[in-house]
């Protein structure tokens, strides 16, 4: 019997399957394996991230940026810059309506998901597909936990890598912190617009009270801000904020957080918004003062409280004085310094909103006869006295022939009279006598930081200056020759600790006290009976007017009762302004401001008495009063009529007189002259010549110390 051959094994199911079936199975298997690997990798990433997360207390204290709050002298907050943080409100003290509103509108499945909401993500992907090609971002996919992760750990850069990191951190946070803790972090850290971070900062900014007292309507407004803080901000668009709050109320009703009746009973339009602080002239001051923080402190993270010198009452008076007195079409600026240099008021223009250009600290303009302060200081330091007899007569210096605004000369007059009526020929001859370089040196000594030319016409104020610098110079005269340095910040605190305290330096003596006293004598005479009579305020005032060619600039600089104030008016394009003179609108603005600024200060008499100049010079409506101080001596661009060769004569060293405590080293640094000047040849005093002796300068000689340099 023949044996049977063994049966052949049947091919396996895998071999019988078609190529495509095997491909699909391999793909599914690979996908599952990759999925498992991805899950393992995700778990590793989540738990690794969880172990590296800071503690909850550390997350609470982590900064989002530096906040700076600026205070006036009385403690009033002038402006808050950078991110603003309110008080941290614990979870159990946050109003329930606020928690319900934010969960309803931002993450209604917050209590059930693990940090990332797959359903929310799927919904967002579907919306993105429907809006493909429109350029809109994928929105609605981030949970509250993801937003916390982004706020604390990541940036707002929108890309896939950031979204993946955000998801991992969110999952890790859900493993480490409770839902209540995450929501507490969110409500205290998320950005609500207007620089406000957290519900307390938002509530204080928009409603003027703590977040502990939020009503349902207010909570709806705040919750609606997160989606688009800049668009829905009540201060930016109140109508949009109301509409968004209505949407929030509807969503709260839809999710069962409130009833439909409650939603209908609340009217977001009834919410009272806190008034926005005025951002007008006070910003000129803060824009000038705050950049100084970079050199005063090195704290760059902790919130700062900056205490300043600004007096709000004086600031309001200064703002009003400029707006009411500046001619139509003209701008105006005002700076007021206390006796120690504290800036009590600063106005850089008529309206900060329309122009942030600070004409008090940035603009450089010709000062006209207000510059004569330095000419007369140099003359007084060289030995002149206020009662010296000088000759007002025609004079020519290097081809330049200045004339007086009256068009005539008055012969022999006192130095006091010459200054009171701003007589130009006398200023020119004094400058020639002491040396134009010496006048420039005096200006540098008193804090002028802009370039100074030493052509003869410089004595009439042809070198541009800043109002703040010129005010500083007059303040130093008021302080009996001691240097006054303007400052705006008194102290800075961080986390309750003082990290900067201003110290006033009174060690730098610029001129001897008797020189400053004589200068004050001249200045108060100019106000009592000269070109500055409009600046009288019923108490002793010392000051000087300044007017430039074709009435382009008007100045008044003066001091009273320990307060020194400088006023400038003119057009930004330097076009002439009819009727603008230092003795008119600027002097009136000075008087308007100072009347209010010194009202509560005791009346202070100057150490020198007012001596009236020769009454017979001019009648009551004399040509000197309220006329341009030097308008006929420079061309339409403010340059000398007969310009000399360009160049600057080196400033001459100033001789120190016996008994004066002048700080020469400090003056060297201020003026830029050599620290160790070469020995200066000395000569004996000038003796009064016989009556018929020729006089080159027209200034009657008298016995006095000789100038430092023989050529002068």
Residues 506-537: tens digit of each pLDDT: 999 999 999 999 999 999 999 998 899 999 99
Distance CA 78, CA 6 (A): 103
Predicted local confidence at residue 703, as pLDDT: 35
Predicted local confidence at residue 311, as pLDDT: 97
Question: Any idea how long the chain is?
Answer: 712
Of 177, 198, 199, 168, nearest to 55 by C-alpha is 177
For the chain, how are helix, strand and coil distributed in percent, rounded to 5? 40, 10, 45
Of 415, 374, 434, 424, nearest to 395 by C-alpha is 424
pLDDT < 70 stretches in the chain: 1-26, 38-39, 42, 45-46, 62-65, 120-141, 155-162, 230, 235-236, 276-279, 609-712
Helix then strand count (H, E) for the chain reads 24, 14
Residue pair 376/460 in contact (Cβ under 8 Å)? The answer is: no
Query: Residue 389's beta-bridge partner residues?
Result: 414
Residue pair 460/369 in contact (Cβ under 8 Å)? The answer is: yes
Contacts of 369 (CB under 8 A, 6+ apart): 422, 424, 427, 460, 461, 531, 544, 545, 546, 547, 582, 629, 630
Contacts of 103 (CB under 8 A, 6+ apart): 110, 111, 144, 183, 257
Distance CA 538, CA 540 (A): 7
Contacts of 522 (CB under 8 A, 6+ apart): 376, 386, 415, 416, 419, 420
């Amino acid at each position: 019997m023949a044996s049977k051959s063994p049966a052949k094994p049947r091919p396996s199911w895998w071999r019988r399957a078609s190529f495509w079936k095997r491909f699909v199975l391999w793909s599914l298997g690979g996908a599952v394996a990759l999925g498992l690997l991805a899950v393992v990798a995700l778990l590793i990433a989540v738990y690794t991230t969880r172990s590296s997360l800071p503690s909850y207390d550390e997350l609470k204290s982590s900064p989002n940026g530096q906040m700076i709050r600026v205070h006036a002298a009385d403690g009033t907050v002038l402006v808050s810059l950078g991110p603003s943080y309110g008080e941290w409100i614990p979870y159990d003290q946050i109003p329930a309506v606020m928690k319900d509103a934010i969960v309803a509108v931002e993450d209604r499945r917050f209590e059930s998901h693990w940090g990332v909401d797959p359903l929310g993500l799927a919904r967002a992907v579907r919306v993105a597909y429907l809006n493909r090609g429109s350029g809109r971002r994928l929105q609605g996919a981030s949970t509250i936990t993801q937003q916390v992760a982004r706020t604390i750990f990541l940036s707002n850069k929108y890309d896939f890598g950031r979204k993946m990191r955000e998801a991992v951190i969110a999952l890790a946070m859900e493993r480490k912190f409770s839902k209540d803790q995450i929501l507490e972090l969110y409500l205290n850290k998320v950005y609500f617009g207007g620089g406000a971070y957290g519900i307390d900062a938002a509530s204080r900014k928009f409603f003027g009270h703590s977040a502990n007292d939020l009503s349902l309507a207010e909570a709806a407004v705040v919750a609606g801000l997160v989606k688009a803080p800049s668009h829905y901000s009540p201060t930016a668009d109140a109508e949009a904020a109301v509409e968004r709050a209505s949407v929030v109320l509807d969503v709260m009703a839809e999710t069962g957080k409130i009833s439909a009746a409650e939603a209908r009973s609340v009217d977001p339009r009834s919410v009272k918004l806190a008034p926005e602080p005025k951002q007008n002239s006070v910003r000129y001051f803060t824009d000038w003062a705050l950049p100084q923080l970079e050199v005063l402190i090195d704290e760059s993270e902790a919130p700062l409280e900056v205490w300043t010198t600004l007096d709000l009452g004086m600031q309001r008076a200064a703002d009003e004085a400029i707006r009411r007195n500046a001619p139509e079409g003209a701008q105006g600026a005002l700076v007021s310094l206390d006796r120690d240099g504290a800036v009590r008021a600063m106005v850089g223009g008529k309206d900060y909103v329309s122009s942030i250009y600070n004409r008090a600290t940035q603009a450089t303009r010709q000062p006209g006869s207000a510059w004569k302060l330095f000419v007369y200081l140099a003359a007084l330091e060289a030995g002149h006295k206020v009662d010296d007899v000088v000759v007002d007569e025609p004079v020519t210096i290097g081809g330049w022939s200045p004339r007086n605004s009256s068009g005539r000369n008055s012969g022999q007059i006192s130095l006091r009279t010459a200054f009171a009526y701003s007589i130009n020929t006398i200023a020119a001859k004094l400058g020639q006598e002491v040396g134009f370089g010496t006048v420039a040196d005096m200006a540098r000594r008193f804090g002028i930081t802009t370039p100074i030319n030493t052509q003869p016409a410089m004595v009439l104020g042809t070198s541009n200056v800043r109002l703040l610098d010129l005010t500083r110079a007059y303040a130093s005269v008021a302080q009996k020759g001691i240097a006054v340095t303007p400052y705006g910040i008194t102290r800075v605190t961080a986390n309750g600790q003082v990290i900067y305290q201003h110290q006033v330096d009174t060690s730098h003596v610029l001129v001897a006290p008797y020189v400053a006293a004589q200068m004050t004598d001249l200045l108060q005479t100019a106000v009592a009976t000269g070109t500055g009579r409009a600046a009288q305020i019923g108490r002793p005032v010392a000051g000087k007017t300044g007017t430039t060619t074709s009435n382009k600039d008007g100045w008044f600089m003066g001091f009273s009762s320990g307060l020194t104030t400088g006023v400038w008016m003119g057009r930004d394009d330097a076009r002439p302004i009819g009727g603008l003179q230092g003795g008119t609108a600027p002097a009136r603005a000075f008087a308007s401001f100072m009347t209010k600024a010194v009202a509560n200060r005791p009346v202070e008499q100057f150490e020198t008495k007012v001596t009236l100049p020769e009454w017979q010079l001019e009648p009551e409506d004399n040509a000197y009063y309220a006329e341009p101080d030097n308008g006929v001596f420079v061309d339409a661009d403010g340059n000398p009529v007969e310009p000399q060769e360009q160049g600057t004569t080196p400033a001459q060293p100033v001789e120190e007189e016996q008994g004066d405590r002048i700080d020469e080293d400090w003056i060297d640094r201020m003026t830029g002259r050599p620290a160790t000047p070469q020995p200066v040849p000395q000569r004996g005093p000038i003796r009064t010549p016989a009556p018929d002796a020729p006089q080159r300068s027209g200034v009657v000689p008298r016995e006095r110390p000789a100038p430092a340099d023989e050529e002068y």
